[in-house]
Amino acid sequence: MLFCMAWLAVGNVTAKVDIMACEPEWASLAKSLGGDKVSVESVTTAFQDPHHIEARPSLIVKARNADMLFCTGAELEVGWLPILLLKSTNSKIQPNQPGYFLAADQVALIEKPASVDRSQGDVHADGNPHVHWDPYRLLTIAEAFHQRLQTVDPGNDTHYRQRYREFVIRFRSAIKTWEAKAEPLNGVKVFVYHKNWSYLLNWLKIEAVADLEPKPGIPPTGAHLARLLKASKHSPAKMILIANYQDEKAARWLSDRADIPVVSLPFTVGGDHSVTDLISLYDEVLTRLLAASSP
């Protein structure tokens, strides 16, 4: 009996916080802030569109065993996360519980529509959910998540505070480097495919002059691309930005006719062999943008 009690006590002390992340960027942030006190897995990859995921049985099992959920929110996962939570029957990660954490709830969102109806396409009523492309919002999210880790796992609060301090120092230093490096991008005009990059473009003062989607979430049509081709003669863009999980066909069509290069960017951690964390993600994206914008 004493042996069993001792074993249980050790188990409670050494057990890691099991974190299920909806996207790789949040898995990366959770690992940075949690270190060896957490076990983290993303249920999507960098080559999947997080809007369109199936709540498969394997995902339900992961949700059932999780101590924490770290997702984007702002309706990005609305097509599958509610089903996943319901079928998991895991009380720890339900809304309003400490183990339920949405990044978009921690920051102000841009592009929030005044009203929403089906005629507008696939519009997010709460605003643009792709908040990991603003480094300052990322810092705010990191602060909130490390505080939540302390709530869920108070026995390791000192560890989480230290990990957070170290992350902030590294990330703030990286921001200074990025902003100095990215000055040539100020004022550059681009075409985009979906509003994936709005936060990044705002931060770097890059102007999106048109979207390959006729409406949010609606695939490019021949008629819409023809209009963009005509418009490009009067308002030329330097490049066409796409995420590397997106189909390049429409972008290539416009590129060939308008003589504008397509720049395929990793959208999240793991989107390129060099992209292993959030800092290397920003490094790689800035490198590609600068290469495409140079004469």
Could you give the angle at which helices 24-34 and 157-181 cross, rounded to 10 degrees? 120
Quote the pLDDT of residue 125: 85
Beta bridge partners of 17: 38
Report the DSSP beta bridge partners of residue 69. Answer: 20, 100
C-alpha to C-alpha distances, 63 to 31, 212, 225, nearest whole angstrom? 18, 35, 41
Helices (H) then strands (E): counts for the chain: 10, 8
**Segment 25-45, tens digit of pLDDT:** 999 999 999 999 999 999 999
The reported pLDDT for the residue numbered 217 is 85
Give me the pLDDT at residue 128, please.
96
Third-level CATH fold of 183-293: Rossmann fold (3.40.50)
Give the pLDDT confidence score for residue 48 in this predicted structure.
Answer: 95
Angle, helices 278-293/157-181, rounded to nearest 10 degrees = 10
pLDDT 10s digits, 115-127: 766 555 566 789 9
What is the DSSP secondary structure assignment for residue 170, as one 8-state letter?
A: H
Bridging pattern class, strands 189-192 and 239-243: parallel
Low-confidence stretches of the chain (pLDDT < 70) are: 1-14, 116-123
The yes/no answer on whether domain 13-176 falls in CATH 3.40.50.1980 is yes
- The identity of residue 249, as a single letter, is K
State whether the Cα torsion 62-72-281-279 is positive or negative: negative
Please tell me whether residue 135 adopts helix, strand or coil conformation.
helix
Q: Where in the chain is the domain with CATH 3.40.50.1980?
A: 13-176, 183-293
Residue in 66, 44, 63, 61 with CA at minimum distance from that of residue 53: 44
Q: Are 18 and 34 contacting, i.e. CB atoms less than 8 angstroms apart?
A: no
